[in-house]
Amino acid sequence: MLTHYIDLAMHKANYELLEDGTFYGEIPDCRGVWANAQTLEACREDLQDALEGWIILGLRLGHILPILDGIDLNFSKQVA
């Protein structure tokens, strides 16, 4: 499920060639997840690393992560 979530998020990424010749990428659904690198492939790799760290930190801190195509990584507290 986590791998599928990462794949979905990466497919939603936007990339842009900047004036300085570097590539910028971001995932709009995942606020604050972005990368900048010399090549498009390096930008994709850095973006995926940023996404993975963002997910781990978000889960650890109890942040609510976006639900992507029905995949919900958020913990739900069940009342006993």
pLDDT of residue 78: 64
The mean pLDDT of 9-28, rounded to a whole number, is 98
**Residue 79, pLDDT above cutoff 90:** no
HEC string for 11-53: HCCEEEECCCCCEEEECCCCCCCEEEECCHHHHHHHHHHHHHH
What is 2-61's CATH number? 3.30.160.250
Report the C-alpha gap between 67 and 31 in whole angstroms: 13
Question: Residue 62 gets which letter from DSSP?
Answer: T
Q: How confident is the model at residue 71 (pLDDT cuts 50, 70, 90)?
A: very high
**Residue 77, pLDDT above cutoff 80:** no
**Residue 80, pLDDT above cutoff 90:** no
Structure tokens at 35: 């990368």
Query: How does the average pLDDT of the chain come out, rounded?
Result: 95
Report the C-alpha gap between 55 and 45 in whole angstroms: 15
